[in-house]
Amino acid sequence: MPFNSIHFIYFFGVICPIYWLFRTYYKIQNFILLGGSLYFYAQVDLKLCLLWAFISLGTWLLGNAMETYRQRKAILTLGLLLIFSQLFIAKYYNWLLGDFSGALSIYKLASTIGLSYYTLAASSYLIDIYRKKLSPVANPITLGAYLSFFPQLLSGPIPIAYKDLPQYSLSRSISLTTIEESGQRIVWGIFKKVIVSGLLAKPVDYIFYNHSDLGVIYLWLAIILYSFQVYMDFSGYSDMAWGIAKLLGIKINSNFNSPFISRTIDEFWRRWHLSLSAWLKEYIYLPLGGRGSSKWQYMVNIFIVFFMSGVWHGANANYILWGSFNGLLFVMAILIDWTREKNDIQYGVKGFFSMLLVFLSIAFTRVFFRSPDFVTALTYYQEMFKTSDFSMPDIGVVELGLSILIVLIEWLQRKELHPADISKWSLPVRLGIYASVIGVIYWMWPTQNPTEYIYFKF
Amino acid sequence: MKKTNLAFAFATGVMIMACSDKKQTNDAQTTNLKETVQAEYPEIPREEILEDDTLATKVYEELKLRYKNQLIELHKAVTANGAQLIITFLSPEVGESLTKSNRLGKELVEGYAKELQVPFYDLTQKLANQDPKVVTQLPKDGHWSKEGAKIIAEELTPIIKQYAAVKSTKTFAEKPETFGDLFPSNDEILDGGKGLPYRVKTNAQGLRMDTDVSSTKTKQRILFLGDSEMYFPFLDNKNIGTNLLQTAFPDKEMLNAANWGYSIDDYVSLYKEKAQFAEPDVVILSVNGNDILDMYFSHRNRFARNKQPQNPSETEKSFYQKHYQK
């Protein structure tokens, strides 16, 4: 049930008013959230709900057990084994079991959508209890509502338990300002996902499918357009998720912070898929020692994190190569000291060229991400450097322009919390902008509503 | 609070409007009528019509007659213009793998062609004799691959050369805006929902070709009528058979008016309403054996270019009820 489907609108139209009827009873609200989320998830596959229930119940029991028993490390290990074994078996089912899949046919799921996200949330809960950053929740409904929260269930943002879970034990409120803020993100998200990403999909699919027939510039254009497509698709979804969650009084993490205005590789990863980066940092990078005492340790730890990110994306050599490739880029940037401090907000001509270089470097790695297999990816890379056929592309130009326009808006809005945040502007101007964007969305709405999301498959 | 409710209702309304899958259109009432008939008879029978029973035989006889009459009409219309009609047999099922309906249909059409003294060519011979390692059809879909299109163009080459001297006699002072049914001057990426993206370019006259048909005729014009086998879905214009022929014959104009799901009645109406005004000298009609079965009313209602619904004959209705409305 994607957010931009009529089914979701009906679903949310029913859930939201009922939820706010109980505004002073957050426990009942949690119950409504849990029920609604499970209904939402069951639309994909009922078996997924059962797997979710098994993992969540196990997580809740083991979380409480850590508080009661002294063998905390053993309980944590058991919990992580439970969680990640389920993820591994279900997600890598065909690849892992092959002909022997009959023995574990219960894991044969129509889709593993959401699994990679809530398993990270569940493991974060157990690790945080173990690290004494969080107390286990006594009520399983509270944990259930947190782990199944439908705006972030299918594709994140991945929550960090000790930061995000406490709000499920507090009463929530909503105001006109919150509604407006949510509306801004939802509309901006719809525009990026349905309109821009939908437009970008056509030339990208076409060039990647017909790459052997096309000239060099087409192939380079495709990696640029595909980078924009992934961003518009995933950040559009994340913005919608943020807005919907906020309409329920829950604040979830932002997943992106205008990544294409980054001037260094490390800055890019501080702005891209933030919730996964935060999870990897909190539970892999920092336990490994973070920056450590030497540059070498720093580089090794960074590479491990990127490698793990590739593994998380799927049982496919291409994702692991994509992760490793990005890890190498990061390591190279460290080696040549091409890094930037967080609070450096200077943009000059040099900054512009740096932005371009970062964008192209990241886009270059995307061939692995987009290609169906290793051989296709390798062929594509070879063809990008062939010395014949430099014909100028006659497709994707409008889509490229639109994407650049969005990056420009993000750059202009870089000092705001979010590019869609226009709360400083006067009401008539804001209303004019809302009406224009909604009008453009309505006018450009495709005949076939694109309800597939790139990051649903991870 | 009132303001909050108002804003919420407005936002919900906008989202519902925006998320609806289809926008309201003011299509003609005929389309609705056609949709009504389609909804009443959604199934399209294939092999059941060839079953060995009296009712099925009666249906097939009716379809054969309908097909033959339409073919005669097309032949008359083409010859009335002094042009040459040629029938080519083209099917993804080649050699020994012809299905019963395709085999029977092929024999029938070949017989009708002989009766009408229309040249008939089987283009599938070379495809059947190909090295199995050469992929002539897209494995995902069954339509022609680049290699398949190339072989078809090679098969058509000697036929086109044979009729190089043919010239139509009729000219038209007034012409419609388009000669084909495709959206004119279009350049679009499609994938037919199969993940096989391809680029369709049409000229100003709604034909699948890169250049417009010249206003003054200076070259011999070859018109191609056919269904998806001649439309070449999932291939860019530059790789389709008719474009390869255009490159091979710069002294001629290759006019591709083929379209998905079309059958003989569509070719007749398309030719009479639009294509004949392009003044083609040679009309190459691409057929396959299933075209006879395609004359069944529920298939026609799904695919025909005619916007009027085709109601079932009594025999078709009885057959439909027997198989699908038990």
pLDDT tens per residue, range A112-154 = 889 999 999 999 999 999 999 999 999 999 999 999 999 999 9
Partners of A185 on chain B (C-beta within 8 Å) are none
Asked if A122 and A196 sit in the same domain, the reply is no
Asked if A144 and A42 sit in the same domain, the reply is yes
Residue A1 lies in a domain: no
In three-state secondary structure terms, B87 is strand
Cross-chain Cβ contact A6/B19 below 8 Å: yes
In three-state secondary structure terms, B89 is strand
What confidence score (pLDDT) does residue B1 get?
42
Smallest CA–CA distance, residue B12 to chain A, in Å, is 8
* Single-letter amino acid code for the residue at A53: A
Cα A18 off chain centre by: 29
| DSSP secondary structure of B185-223 | T-EEEE-TTTT--EEEE--TTS-SSSSPPPSS--SEEEE
Partners of B19 on chain A (C-beta within 8 Å) are 4-6, 8-9, 449
What confidence score (pLDDT) does residue A316 get?
79
Question: Would you mind telling me the total number of residues written for chain A in this entry?
Answer: 458
Residue A280 lies in a domain: no
Partners of A439 on chain B (C-beta within 8 Å) are none
Tell me: the pLDDT tens digits for B77-122? 999 999 999 999 998 877 777 788 888 999 999 999 999 999 999 9
Least confident interval from A194-208, B127-141, B192-206, B277-291: B127-141
Q: Which of A169, A193, A224 is the last residue of a domain?
A: A169
What confidence score (pLDDT) does residue B22 get?
43
**A177 part of contact set with chain B, CB < 8 Å:** no
Q: Which of A153, A169, A185 is the last residue of a domain?
A: A169
What confidence score (pLDDT) does residue B307 get?
85
Asked if A152 and A209 sit in the same domain, the reply is no
Shortest CA distance to A273 belongs to which of A299, A244, A310, A301?
A310
- pLDDT exceeds 90 at position A440: yes
Shortest CA distance to A211 belongs to which of A404, A401, A370?
A370
Tell me: the pLDDT tens digits for A213-252? 999 999 999 999 999 999 999 999 999 999 999 999 999 9
Partners of A183 on chain B (C-beta within 8 Å) are 7, 11
Residue A332 lies in a domain: no
Asked if A26 and A145 sit in the same domain, the reply is yes
- Cβ–Cβ under 8 Å, residues B270 and B70: no
DSSP B24: -
- Per-residue pLDDT band at A44 (split at 50, 70, 90): confident
Decide which of A207 and A448 is more confident. Answer: A207
How distant, in Å, are the alpha carbons of A203, A219, A292, A305, B82 from that of A287? 43, 40, 10, 11, 86
Tell me: the pLDDT tens digits for B219-262? 999 999 999 999 999 999 999 999 999 999 999 999 999 999 99
**A444 part of contact set with chain B, CB < 8 Å:** no
Q: Which regions of chain B does DSSP assign to beta strands (E)?
A: 84-89, 120-122, 187-190, 198-201, 220-225, 252-256, 282-287
What confidence score (pLDDT) does residue A29 get?
96
Q: Which of B6, B15, B210 to probe the A interface (max A CBs under 10 A)?
A: B15
What confidence score (pLDDT) does residue A432 get?
94
Between CA B66 and CA B259 the distance in angstroms is 21
- Per-residue pLDDT band at B4 (split at 50, 70, 90): very low
- pLDDT exceeds 90 at position B326: no
Q: Could you give the number of structural domains in chain A?
A: 2
Asked if A231 and A354 sit in the same domain, the reply is yes
- Cβ–Cβ under 8 Å, residues B182 and B190: no
Between CA A258 and CA A221 the distance in angstroms is 21
**Per-chain mean pLDDT for chain B:** 88
Cross-chain Cβ contact A203/B12 below 8 Å: no
- pLDDT exceeds 90 at position B183: yes
Residue A273 lies in a domain: no
Tell me: the pLDDT tens digits for A46-80? 888 999 999 999 999 999 999 999 899 999 999 99
What confidence score (pLDDT) does residue A344 get?
66
Partners of A179 on chain B (C-beta within 8 Å) are 4, 7-8, 11
Smallest CA–CA distance, residue B244 to chain A, in Å, is 15
Contacts of A388 (CB under 8 A, 6+ apart): none
Q: What's the burial of A281, exposed, middle or buried (CB within 10 Å: 0-12/13-18/19+)?
A: middle
Cross-chain Cβ contact B8/A179 below 8 Å: yes
Shortest CA distance to B246 belongs to which of B275, B210, B277?
B210
Between CA A158 and CA A80 the distance in angstroms is 17
Smallest CA–CA distance, residue B15 to chain A, in Å, is 7
Partners of A9 on chain B (C-beta within 8 Å) are 12, 15-16, 19
Least confident interval from A62-71, A101-110, B13-22: B13-22
User: Residue B303 forms beta bridges with which residues?
Assistant: none
ipTM of the complex: 0.77
Shortest CA distance to B105 belongs to which of B58, B45, B50, B51?
B50
Cross-chain Cβ contact A447/B22 below 8 Å: yes
DSSP A165: G
Cross-chain Cβ contact A9/B12 below 8 Å: yes
In three-state secondary structure terms, B137 is strand
What confidence score (pLDDT) does residue A139 get?
95
Q: Which of A21, A179, A431 to probe the B interface (max B CBs under 10 A)?
A: A179
Q: Which of A179, A186, A202 sits opposite B4 (nearest CB)?
A: A179
- pLDDT exceeds 60 at position B9: no
Determine how β-strand B198-201 pairs with β-strand B252-256.
unpaired
Q: Which of A7, A190, A193, A209 to probe the B interface (max B CBs under 10 A)?
A: A209
Between CA A242 and CA A186 the distance in angstroms is 8
Mean pLDDT of A287-293: 91
Residue A21 lies in a domain: yes
**A229 part of contact set with chain B, CB < 8 Å:** no
Cross-chain Cβ contact B3/A6 below 8 Å: no
Asked if A415 and A369 sit in the same domain, the reply is yes
Q: Give the domain range for residue A86.
A: 6-169
Q: Which of A138, A169, A200 is the last residue of a domain?
A: A169
Smallest CA–CA distance, residue B95 to chain A, in Å, is 30
Asked if A120 and A150 sit in the same domain, the reply is yes
- pLDDT exceeds 90 at position B30: no
In three-state secondary structure terms, B121 is strand
Asked if A159 and A195 sit in the same domain, the reply is no
Partners of B16 on chain A (C-beta within 8 Å) are 6, 9
Partners of A209 on chain B (C-beta within 8 Å) are 195-197
- Per-residue pLDDT band at A3 (split at 50, 70, 90): confident
Shortest CA distance to B127 belongs to which of B104, B107, B105, B145?
B145
Task: Name the interface residues of B facing A (CB cutoff 8 Å).
Answer: 3-4, 7-8, 11-12, 14-23, 187, 189, 191, 195-199, 236, 239
The terminus-to-terminus CA distance of chain B in angstroms comes to 58
Between CA B323 and CA B51 the distance in angstroms is 12
Cα B248 off chain centre by: 24
**A89 part of contact set with chain B, CB < 8 Å:** no
What confidence score (pLDDT) does residue A348 get?
79
Residue A318 lies in a domain: no
Residue A338 lies in a domain: no
Asked if A12 and A105 sit in the same domain, the reply is yes
- Per-residue pLDDT band at A345 (split at 50, 70, 90): low
DSSP H helical segments within B45-139, as ranges?
54-80, 100-116, 125-128
What confidence score (pLDDT) does residue A91 get?
76
Cross-chain Cβ contact B197/A210 below 8 Å: yes
- Per-residue pLDDT band at A315 (split at 50, 70, 90): confident
Partners of B234 on chain A (C-beta within 8 Å) are none
Q: Which of A8, A190, A205 sits opposite B197 (nearest CB)?
A: A205
How many C-beta neighbours within 10 Å does residue B162 have? 14
What confidence score (pLDDT) does residue B91 get?
87
Residue A283 lies in a domain: no
In three-state secondary structure terms, B86 is strand
- Cβ–Cβ under 8 Å, residues B109 and B124: no
Cα dihedral: A144, A147, A149, A155 (round 10): -160
Cross-chain Cβ contact B19/A213 below 8 Å: no
Tell me: the pLDDT tens digits for A193-209? 999 999 999 999 999 99
- pLDDT exceeds 80 at position B275: yes
Shortest CA distance to A159 belongs to which of A173, A148, A174?
A148
Asked if A95 and A29 sit in the same domain, the reply is yes
Asked if A161 and A213 sit in the same domain, the reply is no
Q: Which residue has the tokens 């009520």?
A: A139
Q: Which of B3, B21, B198 sits opposite A176 (nearest CB)?
A: B3
- Cβ–Cβ under 8 Å, residues B36 and B310: no
The terminus-to-terminus CA distance of chain A in angstroms comes to 16
Asked if A252 and A395 sit in the same domain, the reply is yes
Cross-chain Cβ contact A210/B4 below 8 Å: no
Between CA A126 and CA A114 the distance in angstroms is 19
- Cβ–Cβ under 8 Å, residues B308 and B269: no
How distant, in Å, are the alpha carbons of B51, B60, B217, B306 from that of B313? 19, 12, 44, 17
Between CA A373 and CA A299 the distance in angstroms is 28
Cross-chain Cβ contact B195/A175 below 8 Å: no
**Per-chain mean pLDDT for chain A:** 91
